[in-house]
Amino acid sequence: MAKILCLQLLTYGVLIGPCLAQNCPLLGPAYPPPTDPVSSSFLAAAETFDGLLKLDSRIDRQRVSFAVQVYSSSSTAPMYSHYSTAPFLNTSKVGPDTLFRIHSISKVMTVYAIISKLGHKYWDEPVTKYVPELAVRPQRDGIGSPDWSEVTLGGLASQMSGISRDYALGDISTAFTEMPFSRPLNQSELVRCGSTGFKPCTREEAIKLILSTYPVSAASSTPNYSNMAFQILAYAIETITQTPFPDLVRAQLIQPLNLTRTFLTNPGNDTNAVIYNGWDLDFGDEAPTAGYYQSVSDLTTLGRSIISSTLMPAISTRKWLKPVTHTSSLVFSLGRPWEILRQTIPISTSPSTSTSRVTDIYTKQGGGDTYTSLIALSPDHNIGISITSAGPSSFSSGMEIIRDAFMDIWLPAAEQAAREQARRDLAGTYMYTSSIDNSSSLVTVAIETNQPGLFVSKMVSNGTDMLALIAEYQQRGEKGTQLGMWLYPAVGLTEGNRTAFRGVLGLVGRPAAADCGSWAEGDRLRWGNYPVDLLIFETEGDGRAERVEVPVLGRSLERA
């Protein structure tokens, strides 16, 4: 019977994929995110991380004040915090509520406010529909003027608009009226607003300057960083919502999250702030790109609300935490407005571990001459880091050290914590027996050394070893091999205490192919549309699974 069924399955091509697929993890978490913020893995990470922040000589503690918090969605208190007050700055002691400028993290707040209010439905709309001043006849030809009809709201939010970086900020003509190497400028061509030493540009002045800029590329062709994109985006959203953009941010973010230490304009000489050069720079209408002020505790609250989907449906968060475009780097992509770092992390902190998997970290850095900040989120683990800093020179090098340490120390710790949690709560043997018809089923789930995911080593029903049967088909008579199935969380498929996992079929001991074809093999094997690779764990109040449902068998198996 088995060989006849094998020939039929091969005839219909349903086993070609599983013959090729190995345990290359599906993109996303290898296990449910860790829920214990004081697990041994996290405590060890905190100790190691703290030593680095206190002792690494590359971090300029004498001249730069900074605050750091590492947090989880499972706790309202940070898992780790560190505050450093630089003697050079002669400011009040830095703590969780100390204000800093956060510069371009303002872009995250801008997009967050938009999505929480409007969802994702406007991203493909042309900006000219909502900012009609941009629909005027271009000043130059297609090389010298952007085709604004092709620029979408989503392109503005994701650095794919093709437009200039800035229309005023940093323009040389704000400092010099003539240059020996350049063309002479008419008085009307000199930039006299929107930069250091000048008042902010009015909307009319800003639009006039924006229309005079050259495109960097055609829209939607290659990423290019643009600050002015977010000012234009805010203008468009004001048209859509008929609400001043600062009021929208307050209503959508500041009030519901109780961000009492977040300011959209200069808070003045706040008594708990690191006030240094650049503190008073007024961005005016360009504030949605880089003008906001925030404490590290409010930045943490903001980040935790994102990974927890506090302010919007989980589907909106899942759409948001995805790349829009690659860059020329193999490990760096862009979202709206995320700067996404693709990392490989070891599947275990055990010294014997030689296997790693890919995870994406959603970051945004804000940087000026004297203030630097960072938010970084790991959706696979529901953890994040917030960093705010100020000092006489950019803290970008120190920021990179702390960011990289977060990825090198905290991500492996989170992976290990999730792995141990899955071993405790999900691994085990599950059985079904019926005295009525003498039927039975058994599934064994384990955590295997040097393998990510949950390993299904045995699946037997009514005396038939299902994995061995499929292995016979897969190998076409080849002996001495074992087929296994590795389970990964089906992200978002949770109902109450029931959580779905999907499997990746492969041969034990064989490495995955470089092109990682497991994403194309899910749900290939079905019986009357009941998937062979679907298991649904049902947990109790302590998180421990007491039964597993196997739809293809039509049975729920109890923990043995």
Phi, psi dihedral angles at 170 (to 5 degrees): 85, 0
Contact 413, 45 (CB under 8 A): yes
372, 344, 342, 298 alpha-carbon torsion, rounded to 10°: -40
Residue given tokens 């199935």 in the structure block: 485
- Cα–Cα distance measured from residue 292 to residue 254, given in angstroms and rounded to the nearest whole number: 12
Q: How far is the C-alpha of 72 from the C-alpha of 79, rounded, in Å?
A: 7
Q: Token digits for 334?
A: 């862009």
d(CA 393, CA 405): 21
User: Per the residue annotation, which of 104, 116, 195, 378 is the catalytic one?
Assistant: 104
Q: Cβ atoms within 10 A of the Cβ of 497, count?
A: 13
Taking CA 553 as the corner, what is the angle to CA 552 and CA 554, rounded to the nearest 5 degrees?
95
Q: What does the alpha-carbon distance between residue 454 and residue 29 come to, in Å, rounded to a whole number?
A: 12
d(CA 415, CA 452): 10
Mention every residue, 6+ apart, whose C-beta is less than 8 A from residue 29. Answer: 379, 380, 381, 418, 488, 489, 491
Nearest to 117 by CA among 229, 239, 251: 251
* Cα separation, 89 vs 390, whole angstroms: 9
Exposure string for 22-53, b = 16+ CB within 10 A, e = fewer: bbbbbeebbbbbbbebebebbeebbeebeebb
Look up 316 and say whether it is catalytic. no
Q: Are 290 and 107 in contact (CB under 8 A)?
A: yes
What is the distance in angstroms between the CA of the first residue and the CA of the last residue of the chain?
A: 31
Cα-based angle 12, 14, 15 (whole degrees, multiple of 5): 120
* Residue 301: φ, ψ to 5°: -60, -40
Q: According to DSSP H, which parts of 363-487 are helical?
A: 396-405, 411-425, 466-475
Angstrom distances, CA of residue 388 to CA of 103, 282, 552: 10, 19, 51
Partnered with residue 82 across adjacent β-strands are 68
Active site residue 225: yes
Please tell me which residue in 40, 75, 214, 225 is annotated as part of the active site.
225
What are the residue numbers of the active site?
Answer: 104, 225
